[in-house]
């Protein structure tokens, strides 16, 4: 069998697709759009409940679809794209043209993402016949005003994340205007309306607006005329699939699956030529067509690193020439200081990747690996299936698009913590070198000078708090993912607790690295979650923060604190955290373990930690 779709079809015909469902993610890892389309058609016929009965740990993802036309064509591509990222899709398509009613209902069906698909046909249906550009402008103004009201209603009801799209304009409409001045006027008013849609995200954190222009720039048709005429499907299958791909990237980020590390090969990938053969001055970097293409790829790496992506180099080379090239080549657009780690040796790259993951205290499923060697890519795929592998080849002009095609590092919002992340990890590597100079971990901690500040999160920190819940997988007691609107609602609740944990030490400020979430219920504080960045494990930060919260609960009249642990494939290391700080197990149903602390004996913060606490509500 040549393709993933062939194997999936064989599994479906044999009746074993549900039984072998965990195989789906690996089959679709490198699937092209055509394979994903066919796979989505097969997978969308499965009953999600049947899959869950066979594989209870499969993460599900609920998507509600509504809009202004026939939208059933989104189901199959969305199912395939979500499956590619390990998510079991539950897609519900609303009534034709029923988006106003569905978004206005505060008690609408729950969904992780609600998509409102907008098309041009519904705009022109409201324009007079014949129409002029100014008639369309009036309809667009009313439509955008209505959408803003619906966004406010939807998000104020706390119904999750809402996704709109800018409205693509098919050529058939401007072509109906015979003079170019009128066409220009239509183009201007159309773009202004779409710009207003895009700007709605500035005031509504629970809203995402996908820019259709970015999808259409790849040559995708806006509509397929026969489908538009006969089925009222006013967005082409190709555009729906491109849209589904972007939505899957959002889903991946909102479930903690966004990648964090970009590990790139050097020879043939980051620059042209072989460093060991051609020397530092002989590698292709600039001044030729191919050299400029490699330089564009380097600039893209630096652009990603500036936004918090951890950049690493993995090269089969001697370390000296690599450092010379990255440190001294006058035309390189990326430098050694842009990388959190440069690994140059002759070991297998999958071993280097595994070791780098250990050093950074991250799972290998946080990595994207880019290499021009099919051999190296194949080894990494086989040995480390959680790593996302990007294939590039001898054509460097295609490197940038291939790297960016799957949006591996996409997040809903960029925070100051994101921008500072590479520097934080470089500091962390310095801490590890410092640790190796001590005979014991305790001696190291005593000299490290750990400082912890525990305080209610400030308004400007709420986006970062949401991000911690979305991206933290290992030290995460319940893996409940909160969107910014969810965090804001809890912070504004008089009984809610959104507590930020900041740390610093002799090497620098780690920033906001942990979160305590809870709610006061009479004389009991219910602890919804405790989360901590993997960068600061095993330094006493979590014990100090929870000690502060327990003491605050006692001092404000609480008689107990309840907490939970929900096991996942990645959070096993925190199974014993609550018992380790004085909580007793009171229930265990196999899915959730419930703990209780009676606040009579609160363990103090570790002696090596300097703790500052501020419980003032802001």
Neighbouring CB atoms inside 10 A of 563's CB total 23
Question: For 108, what's the count of Cα atoms within 13 Å in the CB-facing half-sphere?
Answer: 29
Assess whether pLDDT exceeds 70 at residue 2.
Answer: no
Q: Where are the domains of the chain?
A: 1-56, 59-254, 261-404, 419-614
Class of CATH domain 419-614: alpha beta
Closest by CA position to 275, among listed 339, 321, 312: 321
Across residues 463-483, what is the average pLDDT? 84
Q: Is 598:560 a contact under the CB 8 Å cutoff?
A: yes
| pLDDT of residue 38 exceeding 90 | no
Contact between 253 and 410 (Cβ < 8 Å): yes
Give the lowest-confidence range in 369-378, 425-434, 462-471, 551-560.
425-434
Cβ neighbour number for residue 176 with a 10 Å cutoff: 13
pLDDT digits (tens, 9 = 90+) for 293-350: 999 999 999 999 999 899 999 999 999 999 999 988 888 899 988 998 999 999 999 9
Closest CA to 615 of 523, 516, 484, 524: 516
pLDDT at 490 over 60: yes
Q: What is the mean pLDDT of residues 21-25?
A: 89
Alpha helices in 393-537 (DSSP H): 399-404, 416-435, 441-448, 462-471, 484-492
The confidence score (pLDDT) of residue 245 equals: 94
Tell me, yes or no, if the two domains 59-254 and 261-404 fold the same way: yes
Degrees (nearest 5) of the Cα angle 250, 253, 257?
135
Token output for 616: 């003032």
What is the token pair recorded at 37?
């389309």
Give the C-alpha distances (Å, rounded to integers) separating 366 from 113, 301, 362, 537: 23, 17, 7, 17
How do residues 93-118 score in pLDDT, each as one tens digit? 998 888 999 998 887 778 899 999 99
Q: What tokens appear for 597 in the block?
A: 């602390």
- Burial readout 335-363 (b: 16 or more C-beta within 10 A, e: otherwise): eeebbbbbbbeeeebbebbbebbeebbbb
pLDDT in tens, 204-238: 888 999 999 999 988 899 999 999 999 999 999 99
Handedness of CA 414, 534, 404, 160 (dihedral sign): negative
Q: Is the pLDDT of residue 64 over 90?
A: yes
DSSP-based three-state secondary structure for 520: strand
CATH of the domain spanning 59-254? 3.40.50.1110
106-151 pLDDT, tens per residue?
877 788 999 999 999 999 999 999 999 999 999 999 999 999 999 9
Instruction: Please list, in sequence order, all residues whose beta carbon lies within 8 angstroms of the beta carbon of residue 364, skipping any fewer than 6 positions away.
Output: 353, 354, 357, 384, 386, 387
pLDDT over 70 for what percent of the chain?
97
**Helices and strands of the chain, counted as H and E runs:** 24, 19
**Cα-to-chain-centroid distance, residue 515:** 18
Residue 504 in tokens:
């610093």
287 exposed, middle or buried (CB, 10 Å; 0-12, 13-18, 19+)? exposed
Q: Which CATH superfamily is domain 261-404 in?
A: HAD superfamily/HAD-like (3.40.50.1000)
Supply the pTM of this predicted model: 0.78
């Amino acid at each position: 069998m040549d393709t993933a779709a062939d194997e999936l079809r064989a599994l479906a015909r044999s009746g074993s697709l549900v039984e072998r469902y965990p195989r789906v993610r690996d089959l679709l890892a490198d699937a092209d759009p055509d394979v994903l389309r066919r796979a989505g058609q097969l997978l969308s016929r499965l009953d999600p409940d049947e899959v869950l009965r066979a594989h209870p740990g499969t993460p599900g993802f609920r998507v509600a679809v509504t809009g202004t036309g026939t939208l059933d064509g989104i189901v199959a591509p969305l199912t395939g794209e979500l499956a590619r990222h390990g998510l079991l899709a539950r897609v519900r398509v609303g009534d034709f043209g029923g988006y106003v009613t569905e978004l206005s209902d505060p008690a609408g069906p729950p969904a992780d993402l609600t998509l409102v698909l907008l098309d041009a046909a519904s705009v022109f249906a409201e324009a007079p016949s014949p129409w002029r550009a100014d008639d369309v402008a009036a309809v667009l103004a009313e439509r955008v005003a209505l959408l803003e009201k619906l966004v406010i209603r939807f998000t104020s009801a706390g119904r999750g994340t809402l996704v709109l799209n800018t409205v693509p304009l098919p050529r058939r409409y401007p072509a109906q205007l015979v003079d170019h001045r009128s066409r220009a006027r239509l183009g201007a008013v159309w773009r202004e309306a779409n710009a207003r849609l895009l700007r709605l995200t500035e005031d509504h954190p629970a809203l995402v607006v996908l820019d259709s222009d970015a999808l259409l720039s790849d040559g995708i048709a806006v509509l397929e005329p026969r489908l538009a005429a006969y089925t009222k499907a006013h967005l082409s299958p190709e555009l729906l699939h491109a849209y589904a791909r972007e939505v899957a990237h959002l889903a991946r980020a909102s479930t903690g699956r966004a990648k964090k590390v970009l590990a790139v090969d050097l020879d043939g990938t980051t620059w042209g030529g072989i460093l060991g053969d051609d020397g530092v001055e002989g590698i292709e970097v600039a001044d030729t067509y191919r050299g400029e293409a490699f330089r564009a790829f380097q600039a893209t790496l630096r652009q990603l690193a500036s936004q918090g992506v951890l950049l690493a180099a993995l090269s089969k080379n001697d370390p000296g020439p690599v450092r010379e090239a990255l440190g001294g080549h006058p035309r390189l657009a990326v430098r050694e200081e842009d990388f959190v780690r440069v690994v140059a040796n002759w070991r297998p790259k999958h071993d280097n990747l595994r070791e780098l993951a250990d050093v950074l205290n991250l799972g290998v499923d946080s990595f994207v690996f880019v290499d021009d060697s099919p051999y190296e890519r194949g080894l990494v795929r086989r040995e480390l299936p959680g790593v996302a592998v990007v294939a590039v080849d001898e054509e460097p002009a295609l490197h940038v698009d291939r790297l960016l095609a799957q949006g591996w590092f996409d997040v809903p919002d960029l925070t100051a913590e994101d921008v500072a992340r590479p520097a934080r990890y470089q500091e962390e590597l310095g801490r590890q070198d410092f640790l190796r100079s001590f005979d014991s971990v305790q001696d190291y901690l005593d000299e490290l000078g750990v400082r912890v500040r525990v305080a209610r999160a400030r308004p400007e920190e709420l986006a970062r708090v949401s991000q911690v819940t979305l991206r933290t997988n290992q030290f995460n007691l319940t893996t409940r993912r909160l969107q910014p609107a969810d965090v804001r609602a809890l912070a504004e609740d008089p009984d809610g607790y959104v507590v930020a944990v900041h740390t610093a030490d002799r090497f620098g400020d780690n920033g906001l690295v942990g979160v305590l979430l809870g709610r006061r219920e009479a004389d009991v504080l219910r602890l919804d979650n405790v989360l901590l960045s993997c960068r600061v494990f095993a330094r006493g930060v979590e014990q100090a923060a929870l000690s502060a919260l327990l003491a605050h609960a006692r001092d404000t009249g609480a008689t107990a604190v309840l907490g939970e642990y929900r096991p996942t494939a990645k959070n096993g290391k925190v199974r014993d955290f609550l018992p380790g700080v004085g909580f007793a197990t009171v229930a265990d149903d196999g899915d959730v373990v419930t703990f209780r602390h009676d606040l009579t004996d609160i363990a103090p913060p570790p002696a090596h930690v300097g703790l500052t606490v501020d419980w003032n509500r802001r």
